[in-house]
A and B are shown apart, each in its own frame.
Chain A
Amino acid sequence: MNVKKMAIRSITYRQKILKYIVGANAGHTGGSLSCIDILNVLYNEVLNVSPQNFNSPNRDRYIQSKGHCVEALYVVLADKGFFPEDDLHTMCRYKSHYIGHPTRKVYGVEQNTGALGHGLSLSVGTAIAAKLDNKAYKVFTLMGDGELPEGSNWEAALTAAHYKLDNLCAIIDKNSLQITGPTADVCNTDPIDEKFESFGWEVKHVNGHSLQELKQVFDELPFKKGKPSLIIAHTVKGNGVSFMQNQTKWHHGVPDKEQYSIAVKELDTALAAII
Chain B
Amino acid sequence: MSASTDNQKMPGKANLDVFSGTLQVLAQADREILAVTSDSRGSGKLVAFGQKFPAQIIEIGIAEQNLVGVAAGLASAGKKVFAVSPACFLTARALEQIKNDIAYSDNPVKLIGISAGVSYGALGSTHHSLHDYAVLRCINNIMIVAPADNFETEQAITQAAKLNKPIYIRFGKKPMSLLTEDESNGFEFGKGRLITEGNDIAIIATGETVYPALQAAIKLQAIYNINASVISMHTIKPLDYALLKLVAANTKAVITVEEHSIYGGLGEACASFLLENGYHKPFKIMGIPDEYTVTGSQTEILNHYGISEDGILKMSLQLLGLNTDEKTKP
What is the 8 Å Cβ interface bit string for chain B, positions 149-175, against chain A (1 contact, 0 not)?
Answer: 000000000000000000000000000
On whether the beta carbons of B70 and A113 are closer than 8 Å, the reply is no
Which of chain A's residues 192-212 have a Cβ closer than 8 Å to chain B?
Answer: none
Question: Chain A residues near B63 (CB, 8 Å)?
Answer: 152, 155, 158-159
Interface residue? A123 (CB, 8 A):
yes
Interface residue? B296 (CB, 8 A):
no
Stretch at the interface among A19-27, A126-134, A178-186: A126-134
CB contact between B97 and one of A118, A124, A130, A159 (< 8 Å): that residue:
A118
Q: Shortest distance in angstroms between A111's beta carbon and chain B's nearest beta carbon?
A: 5
Q: Shortest distance in angstroms between A126's beta carbon and chain B's nearest beta carbon?
A: 4
CB contact between A132 and one of B79, B97, B106 (< 8 Å): that residue:
B79
CB contact between A128 and one of B58, B78, B96, B104 (< 8 Å): that residue:
B58
Q: In whole angstroms, how far apart are the Cα atoms of A126 and B65 in the complex?
A: 16
On whether the beta carbons of A122 and B79 are closer than 8 Å, the reply is no
Interface residue? B101 (CB, 8 A):
yes
Question: Chain B: interface secondary structure?
Answer: helix
On whether the beta carbons of B105 and A159 are closer than 8 Å, the reply is no
On whether the beta carbons of A156 and B70 are closer than 8 Å, the reply is yes
- The chain A residue sitting closest to B76, CB to CB, is A126
Question: Chain A residues near B104 (CB, 8 Å)?
Answer: 103, 112
Which of A110, A122, A159, A162 has most chain B Cβ within 10 Å?
A: A122
Interface residue? A265 (CB, 8 A):
no
Question: Chain A residues near B77 (CB, 8 Å)?
Answer: 57, 125-126, 129-130, 133
On whether the beta carbons of B74 and A128 are closer than 8 Å, the reply is yes
On whether the beta carbons of B78 and A118 are closer than 8 Å, the reply is no
Interface residue? B100 (CB, 8 A):
yes
Contact size class for A? Answer: 20 to 34
On whether the beta carbons of A158 and B65 are closer than 8 Å, the reply is no
Interface residue? A224 (CB, 8 A):
no
Which of chain A's residues 150-170 have a Cβ closer than 8 Å to chain B?
Answer: 151-152, 155-156, 158-159, 162
Interface residue? A40 (CB, 8 A):
no
Interface residue? A104 (CB, 8 A):
yes
On whether the beta carbons of B100 and A125 are closer than 8 Å, the reply is no
Contact size class for B? Answer: 20 to 34
A-B contact count (CB 8 A): 99
CB contact between A125 and one of B55, B65, B73 (< 8 Å): that residue:
B73
- The chain B residue sitting closest to A110, CB to CB, is B76
CB contact between A129 and one of B60, B69, B74 (< 8 Å): that residue:
B74
With A132-B55, A158-B61, A159-B70 as known contacts, state yes or no: A125 contacts B76, CB within 8 Å: yes
Interface residue? A270 (CB, 8 A):
no
With A111-B76, A158-B61, A159-B61 as known contacts, state yes or no: A124 contacts B66, CB within 8 Å: yes
CB contact between A115 and one of B68, B96, B107 (< 8 Å): that residue:
B96
Which of chain B's residues 52-66 have a Cβ closer than 8 Å to chain A?
Answer: 55, 58, 60-61, 63, 65-66
Interface residue? A121 (CB, 8 A):
yes
Question: Chain B residues near A57 (CB, 8 Å)?
Answer: 77-78
On whether the beta carbons of B73 and A129 are closer than 8 Å, the reply is yes
Q: Shortest distance in angstroms between B93's beta carbon and chain A's nearest beta carbon?
A: 10
Q: Shortest distance in angstroms between A65's beta carbon and chain B's nearest beta carbon?
A: 10
Interface residue? A226 (CB, 8 A):
no
- The chain A residue sitting closest to B63, CB to CB, is A155
- The chain A residue sitting closest to B70, CB to CB, is A125
With A111-B101, A118-B101, A132-B79 as known contacts, state yes or no: A156 contacts B74, CB within 8 Å: no
Which of chain A's residues 54-102 have a Cβ closer than 8 Å to chain B?
Answer: 57
- The chain A residue sitting closest to B106, CB to CB, is A104
Interface residue? A253 (CB, 8 A):
no
Which of A103, A113, A127, A155 has most chain B Cβ within 10 Å?
A: A155
On whether the beta carbons of A124 and B78 are closer than 8 Å, the reply is no
Interface residue? B274 (CB, 8 A):
no
Q: In whole angstroms, how far apart are the Cα atoms of A204 and B79 in the complex?
A: 32
On whether the beta carbons of A125 and B78 are closer than 8 Å, the reply is no
Could you list 6 further interchain pairs (A-B, Cβ under 8 angstroms) beyond the known A126-B77, A130-B77?
A: A111-B72, A121-B70, A125-B70, A129-B78, A133-B77, A152-B97
Closest 7 CB pairs of A and B: A125-B73, A121-B69, A129-B77, A155-B66, A125-B70, A155-B63, A126-B73
The 20 listed contacts between A and B (C-beta, < 8 Å) are: A103-B104, A111-B76, A114-B100, A118-B97, A121-B65, A121-B70, A122-B69, A122-B70, A124-B70, A125-B73, A125-B74, A125-B75, A126-B76, A127-B73, A129-B74, A132-B55, A132-B79, A133-B78, A155-B60, A156-B70
Chain A residues in contact with chain B, CB under 8 A? Answer: 57, 103-104, 110-115, 117-118, 120-130, 132-133, 151-152, 155-156, 158-159, 162
